[in-house]
Structure 1
Amino acid sequence: TIAPTGTLSLIAGCSSGIEPLFALSYTRNILDGAQMVEVNPHFEAAARKGGFYSEELMRALAEGKHLEDLDAVPDAVKRIFVTAHGITPEWHVRMQAAFQKYTDNAVSKCLAKGTLIPTNKGLIPIEELGFARGDDVFADPISGLKVIGPDGKWHDVTAHYSGGIQRTKIIRLSNGTKIEGTFNHRIMTINGWRRLDELKPGDLVICTRSKIEIGKGEQVLPPLGELRCNAKKVEVPSRMSPRLALLLGMLVADGSLTEKTGAVSLSEKNKRIGELFDQLAEELFGITPRIVVDKRTGVRNHVINSRALCRWCENLIGKGAEGKKVPEQILRGNTEEKLSFIRGLTLDGYVKRGRMVIFEGYALQVVQAVASMLHHLGFAPYIGRKQVSNGKWTYHVEIDQFEGIEEHKRADGSRRRLVETPVEAFCLSLPTNHPEYSNLRYIRRNRPIAVLCSTLDKLGVKYDKDRYLVRVAEIEEGKSEVYDIEVSEVHSYVVDGVITHNTINLPHEATREDVARAFKLAYELGCKGITIYRYGSREEQVLNLVSEERRKEVRGKVGPRPRPTVTRGATIRMLTGCGKLYVTINEDEQGLIEVFVNAGKSGGCVASQNEAIGRLISLGLRSGVDVQAIIKEMREIKCPQPAWQDGELIQSCADAIGRAIELYLRQNGKWESDVQIKSVQFSSPPSQQAGSRSSSISLNEAGMPPECPKCGGPLEFVEGCVVCRNCGYSKCD
């Protein structure tokens, strides 16, 4: 079979290929650990028609008994309904050898982790297109995911595959594009589909240009984070926009981020660029940058001082010459946001021989991501590199035509792309005094498979402007974690403009010698590859026979769902007996997904225990545990050092975390619990009530834990100082 037809056949209720039926009756593991009993409908129909059907017969088959051992079944029926476990390994292999002689598509074809795939949800790394993880694992793709086929139309992604770490071929094309995939991964060449291990330098690969919209704008941005009490007030947008994309592009090109001083700055010698940056900063962050002029060079530095903003920008665009990146929200955004970001990048660009260099620097990931965006914006980008004096490599991306952010950065160069020679060019006639006569004579005499599109333009010959050719420049081998997707109808998809495109079941009783003989026979018969699976060799498998020991209810193992790259949420401050507690609650489209707990100035056990609580809550939320149940359990925990907030008793750190989650749900209109949780409230602070003590309250309000850092005993305020009566510790000493 060809993956994932085995999985699809279960859904369709048909045979998966040449491999015999797994069993006539079996259980199939489905979602959430549930099981479904399957009975072969053809066998059941034959049994009823032949008069030998019975519940006892079906139960015996489900328990793993072979049809040959059941006297109630006629011999003629036994010869027809042979299952995989009833055939010797030798005949499994012989059938494979006969079939594989005429088959060349029998193993999975994958691309390396990190390869950007254009989808209807934007440019997404191939490993994030679904939920497959590990070796040889199929899983569902992202809901509603579509990719662009070679016909330029959207096609549904039906499966996501993880192949683990495998040997790869790394193909570098003449336009700088890099394709890394397994040896048998295929791409479209001018001579048809070719495996990566079949390519040679000089081969022509077909590329396509598409202006189809590949993302949705206004992607959610991360929150700003905690502001210190003396921090400068700053606001950040909650969603991406073309204006923010322009500013981020400018920062990647000529900006700098210094967290130590909190400086977010841009250097320029073009006054109009400085005014634009100031305008964007005021519009997006509510801050007017201060201007520092270098008297020696005349360069103006526009500086915003905010550590929180600096960290926020670093989260989006990275930091350092080699660590810069394109924000995920841009890759998944719409065309306007992508073009705005690229236009901002041209602040570092220049015009070279009529072509626009968009960006040049050490950050290869920026260059590759920008090239991927340009491919699907209708451009034909070129990636170049050069080695500089320090031995490092710099990379740049350039295109024929583009209008940069500065007036003098405009390119309208000639298009020097190779295209397949149209038949019309071989039939064209020109007078001998025509300026293009020599080019036409060369084409008609040599009949080249490809010519420059500029030559065809001059000859007046029409050609497909959205399809061009690039040569294979370099080939090397590597090793990488690989993934693939299954695409409906066309079974191929476009990556950076390039079009890119079986199991023997043995019973549990099979021995090592059986497996060895199968592999040796496959080699002798010239099989291209086989996979052997011994029943029960994995703890979890899709299809199972039901033995008496396994008749007990199967309890599915619960695992956390993957964490999305971007979440949204809020941070809530709570006062506890251990000091100030900052509870950050994040969610995605499916609901709450994680909780982070920061114990303020507290350290040691207080901080570690609260961090552990946050991690366990996050694990529960991602595993589908009801958030209301979590809150109920947290709210029932007490400790000897309660605290007070807004006239309400906070009984412990755990209680505070539960209250923070409940507060977040209430404020966002998501509180639906029928459980009544008792709250202790006071009309006035407890320090004003008879018999109350104020020492723990004072420590709480001071943001300090009530534990002695030396002996762990209780701390108290005595004559304006924090002391421990057990060991004599004093904070004033």
Structure 2
Amino acid sequence: MGSLHAGEREDSFREMRLRLASLDGTRETDAFYYGGTRGTVEISLRSGHRVVGTPNHRVLIALPEGGLDWKRLDELEPGDQVATQYGDDLWSQTPARFKSFAPSKPYGSQKRIDIPTEMSEELAFFLGAYVAEGHISRSVHTVRIANTDEGVIDRLVASARELFEIDARVARHAGRCPSVELSSKTLVEFFDYLGCGDRSRAKRIPDAVLRSPRPMVLAFLEGLSLDSYITSSLPKWAICVASNGLLDDLQAVLTNLGIVHSRITKHNAEYDRSFDEVYVTGRYAQRFVSMLSFPEPHKAARARELVASSPAQSTADVVPGLDGRRLYGLIPAGRSGRYGKGTGTSKEFNHLRDPRTGWVSRESLERVATLPGVELDDWVETVLERNLHFSPVADVRDGGEREVFDVSVPETHAFVANGIVNHNTVNLPEQTTVDEVSQLLIEAWQLGVKAIAIYRDNCKVAQPLSGSKDRSEAGVAAQIAALGGVVAAPRRRRLPDDRTEVGRKFRVGEYEGYIHVGLFDDGTPGDIFVDIAKEGTTLAGLMNSFMISVSLGLQYGVPLEVYVSKFSHMRFEPSGMTNDPDVRVAKSLVDYIFRWMGKKFLTAEQQEEAGILTPEVKARLAAAYAAGEAAAPSHEAPPAGQTALFNSWEDAVECSRCGGRMVRTGSCYTCRDCGTNTGCS
């Protein structure tokens, strides 16, 4: 984030538009903030991620009892589970340009070389190879990259000629790896400008690579893979280097790619030094190596073996606060059957009932979430939807005085930095007074807080968090009274296992199908399924999915007349004549299904409002017109809850030419679609 600083003075904002990730998806910033030098707190996670920020800065954590909450950096303790959001996949749309690079003037017989004006995939690969196995000899202004593979050597020589118009020399010494050598003072200055580092401990991923499109970042990783290794016995990709800063950069890239990884420290007895290693295992290793083209044949072969392997389920990636028995209880019971013909799936998840199972692994949660009928808690849904993974805090220490930067995100004020979910908002209860808000601002200023966003409960239609903590019976009663005694608390009304069903075989055009409607004990519909076309076809799949959604709505209390109002008379193919005497022409399958539902389960008044002309409705209309009465809409107050709006004047029959709904024009009817009239001009 420091690279965004453009010389702003301390404690100042600058307008800036930048896309970044948040819990609500991709957001756009409206300002960049430079806070100057402040006291900081540094936390390290077991995954290797580090967060450095002011003490009041907040990150998202998982609670031991289940749920998510925000916590200040200075309140974190070792063991707290911090959320990391993987797979944001946010990259620059344009390559980084090198407008500000200004080489020193050549002197003597120094050869001129070309410097690219912007990042490219081949340049990114060359830089990755240098960061992996290169160094700079400043005394002779030479860049050297060593590798044992002749194919890699040939590619580097060709790249040097293509990128810089320089003829590289290949040095071959007995007992040492061949190395590609490029002698140029301008090239050394260019590598310094990019920030590649000249020695192993100073290596970094250049900022110009990180600010380039995804293919260029992957090309850099292909070059960097020259220093990585892939194991064939265990699905694993790893790289062990001396530069911790390089591994910090690599972790940020892997997190953005959605590759869950870990970081450990290894001790090398030969050199009596410790080195950090970043590694990826299991299905994430398969995903990662499939993204890269390894230039060394032996690594490419191992990558193919890794992709073709079947890794075991990972038990290290868990969801804190989610108990195995609790998750098992969400799995619906299936029907028993002999010889494997039952529909139960709970046996597959018996390990969740094992008392030795603590927190549930993410893979188990993902498998359970795909089962029909499973309803997860909201916070668990957030974990899955936002691809949150958790790592415990390994260490909390004083970060010292450092320059601090931040970005302003409108509305939510929550964003993701290097994967860590951050927040910068103060939430206050609704009873907070103006004087209390003023005092809060004064205290924030006294503490040196750079900026705060204050939300008072119910101050706007949508707000990121609620500060209300009154959950007592008196508090709940007061909230209900404030809402006029009506509380929207959706509750699912499930159908009994043994239920009454109503079915119909129908035909629309050349298509035939079957409608199955399950009924509650009071005779109202509780679910609907439609068999149409062959099992496994796109039409059958879409129809099944749509009807499951409608069934859930009916069980959660959505009135049937709402569905009939919304989906009747929708026009798309297939359409045509039906085998129903009351619905002679259907404009689509959906049109027929919901008009039939309305005919079967709605009252005559509701059918009339929806334009469904059953014999009862036709008789009512005939009697009304015979008596000289107009079909006027009712103005009675609707009951509490969700209601549907209909055009009560549209009471005419279907058009005999196109099947559209006709409207009354005087004593005749006119089709709104094709203009056909029943007799009047």
Report the TM-score, using the length of structure 2 for normalisation: 0.50
* 1:453 counterpart = 2:367: no
Q: Give the C-alpha shift of residue 153 in structure 1.
A: 1.1
Match of 2:275 in 1: 394
Contact 2:140 2:183 in 1 (8 A): yes
* 1:362 counterpart = 2:284: no
Counting only pairs closer than 5 Å after superposition, residues 321-720 of structure 1 correspond to structure 2 as 321-352=200-231, 354=234, 356-357=236-237, 359-389=239-269, 390=271, 392-399=273-280, 400-401=284-285, 402-403=288-289, 404-409=294-299, 410=303, 411-412=306-307, 416-419=316-319, 421=322, 425-428=328-331, 440-444=349-353, 450-456=359-365, 464=384, 466-481=387-402, 482-501=404-423, 529=443, 531=445
SS at match of 2:412: coil
- RMSD of aligned residue pairs (Cα, Å): 3.6
Match of 1:241 in 2: 120
- CA distance, structure 1, for counterparts of residue 161 and residue 3 of structure 2: 38
Q: Give the C-alpha shift of residue 233 in structure 1.
A: 3.5
Q: Give the C-alpha shift of residue 488 in structure 1.
A: 0.6
Task: Indicate which of 31, 38, 41 corresponds to 1:158.
Answer: 31
Q: Give the C-alpha shift of residue 244 in structure 1.
A: 0.1
- CA distance, structure 1, for counterparts of residue 276 and residue 149 of structure 2: 25
Contact 1:335 1:377 in 2 (8 A): no
AA aligned to 1:489 is: E
Q: Give the C-alpha shift of residue 239 in structure 1.
A: 1.0
Contact 1:359 1:397 in 2 (8 A): yes
Counting only pairs closer than 5 Å after superposition, residues 27-426 of structure 1 correspond to structure 2 as 125-126=1-2, 128-129=4-5, 132-134=8-10, 137-141=11-15, 143-162=16-35, 164-166=37-39, 168-191=40-63, 192-221=69-98, 222-297=101-176, 299-316=177-194, 317-352=196-231, 354=234, 356-357=236-237, 359-389=239-269, 390=271, 392-399=273-280, 400-401=284-285, 402-403=288-289, 404-409=294-299, 410=303, 411-412=306-307, 416-419=316-319, 421=322, 425-426=328-329
Q: Percent identity?
A: 22
Q: Give the C-alpha shift of residue 197 in structure 1.
A: 2.5
Q: Give the C-alpha shift of residue 382 in structure 1.
A: 2.3
- CA distance, structure 2, for counterparts of residue 446 and residue 461 of structure 1: 24
AA aligned to 1:345 is: L
AA aligned to 1:138 is: S
- CA distance, structure 1, for counterparts of residue 274 and residue 400 of structure 2: 22
Match of 2:540 in 1: none
Between Structure 1 and Structure 2, how many residues are aligned? 381
Q: Which segments of structure 1 move beyond 6 Å, counting only runs of 4 or more?
A: 436-439, 457-460, 525-528
Contact 2:89 2:257 in 1 (8 A): yes
Contact 1:417 1:453 in 2 (8 A): yes
- CA distance, structure 2, for counterparts of residue 479 and residue 373 of structure 1: 26
SS at match of 1:427: coil
Q: Give the C-alpha shift of residue 480 in structure 1.
A: 2.8
AA aligned to 2:391 is: V
The structure showing larger relative contact order (alpha-carbon pairs under 8 Å, at least 6 residues apart) is: 1
- CA distance, structure 1, for counterparts of residue 239 and residue 116 of structure 2: 26
After superposition, the C-alpha distances for 1:611-640 in whole angstroms (9 at most, x for unaligned) are xxxxxxxxxxxxxxxxxxxxxxxxxxxxxx
Q: Give the C-alpha shift of residue 313 in structure 1.
A: 2.0
- CA distance, structure 2, for counterparts of residue 526 and residue 216 of structure 1: 41
Match of 2:575 in 1: none
AA aligned to 1:362 is: A
Contact 1:439 1:455 in 2 (8 A): no
AA aligned to 1:377 is: L
Q: Give the C-alpha shift of residue 242 in structure 1.
A: 1.0
Q: Give the C-alpha shift of residue 325 in structure 1.
A: 1.8
After superposition, the C-alpha distances for 1:492-519 in whole angstroms (9 at most, x for unaligned) are 1101211111xxxxxxxxxxxxxxxxxx
Q: Give the C-alpha shift of residue 417 in structure 1.
A: 2.3
Match of 2:597 in 1: none
Contact 2:5 2:34 in 1 (8 A): no
Q: Give the C-alpha shift of residue 347 in structure 1.
A: 0.4
Instruction: Between 322-331 and 214-223, report the one with greater CA deviation.
Output: 214-223
Q: Give the C-alpha shift of residue 249 in structure 1.
A: 0.3
AA aligned to 2:193 is: N
- CA distance, structure 1, for counterparts of residue 92 and residue 214 of structure 2: 7
After superposition, the C-alpha distances for 1:396-442 in whole angstroms (9 at most, x for unaligned) are 322332334434332556655223649754333799x99x9899445
Contact 1:257 1:314 in 2 (8 A): no
AA aligned to 1:226 is: K
AA aligned to 2:184 is: S
AA aligned to 2:329 is: F
Residues 473 and 231 from structure 1, CA distance in 2 versus in 1: closer, same or farther, beyond 3 angstroms? same
Contact 2:83 2:389 in 1 (8 A): yes
SS at match of 1:472: strand
After superposition, the C-alpha distances for 1:132-179 in whole angstroms (9 at most, x for unaligned) are 443xx13214x323322212212223351405221x332211211011
After superposition, the C-alpha distances for 1:643-688 in whole angstroms (9 at most, x for unaligned) are xxxxxxxxxxxxxxxxxxxxxxxxxxxxxxxxxxxxxxxxxxxxxx
Q: Give the C-alpha shift of residue 295 in structure 1.
A: 2.9
SS at match of 2:119: coil
Contact 1:170 1:475 in 2 (8 A): yes
Residues 470 and 438 from structure 1, CA distance in 2 versus in 1: closer, same or farther, beyond 3 angstroms? farther
Q: Give the C-alpha shift of residue 456 in structure 1.
A: 4.6
SS at match of 2:405: strand
Residues 254 and 448 from structure 1, CA distance in 2 versus in 1: closer, same or farther, beyond 3 angstroms? same
Residues 447 and 499 from structure 1, CA distance in 2 versus in 1: closer, same or farther, beyond 3 angstroms? farther
- CA distance, structure 1, for counterparts of residue 273 and residue 246 of structure 2: 16
